[in-house]
Amino acid sequence: MSITAATTELEAINIMLAAIGEAPVNKLTGTLPVDVKIAQNLLNEQSKSVQGEGWSFNTEYNVVLTRSATNKINLPANVLKVDVNIHDHPQVDAVQRGLKLYDRFKHTDIFDEDLKCEVLYFLKFEELPEPARRYINIKAARVFVDRAVTDESLRTYTQQDETRARAILLDSDNENNDTNMLIGDPALTGRLNTFNPSSALIRD
């Protein structure tokens, strides 16, 4: 079985640059050309959008979020979403506000207990599995070209390419997802998890 090396962030940026006919770069540090900065920001933007759907690789269950000395629950900077386990905390309706949790039921950010949650994290590009990197890269490249090129004949990637990459990611994620797609496990998630991103192949 052959093993393909995962796409690095530098390779992803160069794929995007090639899509608009620009020369590749050999580093992403120091003073960078404007197109490189735009590509880098766009890759990060699309990565956050895709990861925000919730996948097996960036979702963790039964995470205990602990209170600070002031009984507030502060969140790491890379948290995209928090879902409190309602079976363990039926009287808590916590939502994320900035980098803190807020209880809408009690109208306060002060908590009486630590909370067991399902947490969705934003991972760095090179922490992602290859199918996710590929899908994000193609999605970002298409947006990059849309903003920079008007000639349809110059487009490197098509909607079909994006659809195919998403389908591969969905297949990979299904294989890695231990939660039953139809039933879910309320004891783990605090809700009936009927699988998140595979409800559609295409996301705008």
* pTM score: 0.83
Of the candidates 125, 193, 134, the residue with the CA atom closest to the CA atom of residue 15: 134
H or E element that contains 100: strand 100-103
Per-residue pLDDT of the chain (204 residues; tens, 9 = 90+): 445 688 999 999 999 999 998 999 999 999 999 999 999 999 999 999 999 999 999 999 999 999 999 999 999 999 999 999 999 999 999 999 999 999 999 999 999 999 999 999 999 999 999 999 999 999 999 999 988 876 666 677 889 999 999 999 999 999 987 654 444 444 444 443 444 554 455 555
Place of tokens 């070209």: 145
C-alpha–C-alpha distance, residues 102 and 95, integer Å: 5
Length of the chain: 204
| Pair of tokens at residue 65 | 């979020």
Query: For residue 40, how many C-alpha atoms fall within 13 Å in the half-sphere facing its CB?
Result: 14
